[in-house]
A and B are shown apart, each in its own frame.
Chain A
Amino acid sequence: MAASESYPDDLLYHPEHDWARIDGDEAVLGVTWYAQDALGELVHYEPPSVGATVSKDASYGEVESVKAVSDLISPLTGEVLEVNEKVVDAPETVNEDPYGDGWLIRIRMTSQDERDQLLALADYRKVLDDEA
């Protein structure tokens, strides 16, 4: 079952429809409800390797639906600590729970300043309004 539309207010957002949940110097990354809805049911997740470096605004992996491929854009720079293997095995988890079980990677941030460049919910909603 696909999740219904929601955008938690405790996350920081990237205009490419990615989110970050920051806890100290670590962050968990994923895609927003809007992104998974635009793609449709996900059938493949191509994650980065643990230990790889991800860079803010650059692609760190891909998700695919039957019809389309989408780059995953990292909202932050850091080192990959963990890949969500549940999503590798069952990519539709992202559709079912984009902010919970459908998280994609956990990273150690290498720049604390970058978080200030991300969008709070109110600003991300403006991005969504522009897409509509």
Chain B
Amino acid sequence: MRILVVEDDLEAQRYLVNGLRESGHVVDDASDGEVGQTLALSRQYDVAIIDRMLPGLDGLKLVAEIREHGNTMPVLILSALSEIDDRVKGLKAGGDDYLTKPYAFAELLARIEALMRRRQPASVKTQLQVGDLELDLLTRTAKRNGSAIDLQPREFRLLEYLMRHAGQVVTRTMLLESVWEYHFDPQTNVIDVHISRLRAKIDKGFEAPLLHTVRGAGYMIRARA
């Protein structure tokens, strides 16, 4: 995958670029907004990571410019700002996701992989399947190996999100934001408890677990490879 990184803090940029390259991505970098814009408009990328505060052309303006040129590549905005409504401003400017610094690299990686996945034509699915676990989005029912699993509405949404990102790491923050729509950090890790309940429902009594914990990052649902 080709990734554009526009970040003016050179050390953060170097770290980001190295990390992404190690994860097997092709990365172009720019340290100011104008260079970033030239790159974004002249080459094809699968995703762009843009810092909010950039010399030359501000990050939000850069995103708006890119969008004005009809470019729809997914954009993740990185921000060291704190304001409560900053996220809203970022998303309004045309960003697809918003991550506040400092971030864990695993969080960033999980998010850009989710963004790149989203880009692929979203076929209207009514059924999700991972291994022998099936989720029917119309009847809102789940089955594993043919037997029905009783899920609470929120558990269903949680499982749906995990299955839509099957094979990808999904972080706790991503779950809190997407499934619960909360943008704050609960003091206790409540998500872990929700996951362990879900795990008890879908994996208990089966030989091959589907819901895996990814150390230092989050969770992943995946059939045995």
Q: Is B truly associated with A?
A: no
Query: Measuring CB to CB, which residues of chain A are less than 8 angstroms from any residue of chain B?
Result: none
Query: Measuring CB to CB, which residues of chain B are less than 8 angstroms from any residue of chain A?
Result: none
